[in-house]
Amino acid sequence: MTVNADTSLREYANPPSLAADRIAFSVLIPFHRDNPAPLVRRLADQAAGDTEIVLYDDGEPDTDLNAALTFLLGELETPARLITSTHNRGRSEGRNLLARQARGDWLIYLDADMQPAAYTFLSTYRSLANSGRFDAAYGGHLTDWPREPALQLHAALTRASDEHAAAARNAIGATAFCSSNVLVRAEVMRDIPFDTGFTGWGFEDVDWAVTAAERFTLVHVDNPARHGGLQGADELLAKFRAGAVNYRRLLDRHPELAGLPGAKAARALKRIPFQGALRGVWSVLARNTALPLRVRTAALKLWRASWTAEVME
C-alpha cells in the first residue's frame, strides 16, 4: 500500500503496475458501492502490456469490497491500481481525480456496472486511437432485457432514449455523449475537466462533451459496452427529481441547448397552472406494472420535465 500526496487518498498498485515503464492506455473506473470486479476481470483478459486499469473507490462505503478488490488486483498480470478516497467526492470530481492519476496518453472511462460487448473492445479502441482522427469518442452501450418486471421500465427507457448506432449519435452530436464508455486523449481532460458544480446525478457528461466540442474533435463510434445497474421505478423517480437542478445548470451554461426535447417539455409544463399537482399522476403511471411500457416511460419523462420546470426561471 502506498500513500498518495493527498492525505485523503490512499493507493494500492499491484506489482505489474509498479514494474510498468510505459503506459499508453488507462482504463478508468469510478465506483460507489457497485462491484467492478467482473468488469476488471473481463478487461484484464483483453489488456495489452501498455494498458493499466485504475479503480477509484469514492468514499469507501464498503470496506469489505475494497479489500476484495485489493486482493483481486494483486492477482492480476495487468498493471492495475486502486485509489481510495476517505470521503465522497461525487461523480465529476471522481472522474477528474482519475484523469489526474492516469498515466496513459489515452483514457477510457467505463462505469463499474458495465461490461464490454465484445472481446475486441479494447483492441477496437486502440485501433481508433492510433488513427489520430479525433480527440474523444463515445462508443455507445447496449442493455440486456431483464427478467425482473421491476427493472423493465429502466431498460425500456434506456433502449428508447440512449441506444443508437454511431451514425444516429453523430447526427445528434455532443449531447449524445455519456461518460459511461468514452475514449479521450489525456490532454483533453487536462484542459476540459468535468464541472464540479454538477452535484449528485446527471448531465455532467453532456456538459463536458458540449464544452469540449468547442475546442476538440468529438465523434461517435460503434464499440458498445453492456449497461448494468438497472433500477426500479422508485429509484428512477427519485433520481430524475434530484437531477432537475443539474439539468437547469446545463441549460444555464449552454443556452444553445434550449431546443433539447427535455428543455422544451419543461417550458411547456411551466406554462400550465398548478402543473406540479400532476406529478402524482405521473408517478402512479410510472410505477404501474400493468400499463404498457411506452405509457410508463412517457410518464417518467413527464415527471422529469415537471421537476425541471420547477427550477427553471
Reported as a pLDDT band with limits 50, 70 and 90, residue 4 is low
Over the chain, what is the mean pLDDT? 93
User: pTM value?
Assistant: 0.93
Mean pLDDT within 274-298: 93
* pLDDT 10s digits, 86-131: 998 999 999 999 999 999 999 999 999 999 999 999 999 999 999 9
Would you tell me how many other CB atoms lie within 10 Å of the CB of residue 168?
12
Look at residue 5 and tell me whether its pLDDT is greater than 70.
Answer: no
- Among 207, 247, 179, smallest CA distance to 29 is for 179
Residue extent(s) of CATH 3.90.550.10 domains in the chain: 2-151+163-231
pLDDT at 312: 80
Place of cell 472481446: 119
Mean pLDDT within 237-243: 93
* pLDDT 10s digits, 12-45: 999 999 999 999 999 999 999 899 999 999 999 9
Look at residue 302 and tell me whether its pLDDT is greater than 50.
Answer: yes
The phi and psi torsions of 284 (rounded to 5 degrees) equal -65, -45
Reported as a pLDDT band with limits 50, 70 and 90, residue 132 is confident
- Among 162, 308, 150, 163, smallest CA distance to 240 is for 308
Reported as a pLDDT band with limits 50, 70 and 90, residue 2 is very low
Q: What is the CATH number of domain 2-151+163-231?
A: 3.90.550.10
Mean pLDDT within 240-264: 92
pLDDT at 161: 85
pLDDT at 118: 95
Q: What type of residue is 261?
A: P
Mean pLDDT within 294-300: 95
Mean pLDDT within 36-65: 94
* pLDDT 10s digits, 72-90: 999 999 999 999 999 989 9
Q: Using DSSP, state whether 7 is helix, strand or coil.
A: coil
Look at residue 311 and tell me whether its pLDDT is greater than 90.
Answer: no
What is the rounded CA–CA span in Å between residue 84 and residue 82? 6
Q: What type of residue is 132?
A: G
What is the rounded CA–CA span in Å between residue 109 and residue 138? 10
Reported as a pLDDT band with limits 50, 70 and 90, residue 200 is confident
- Cell for 123? 483492441
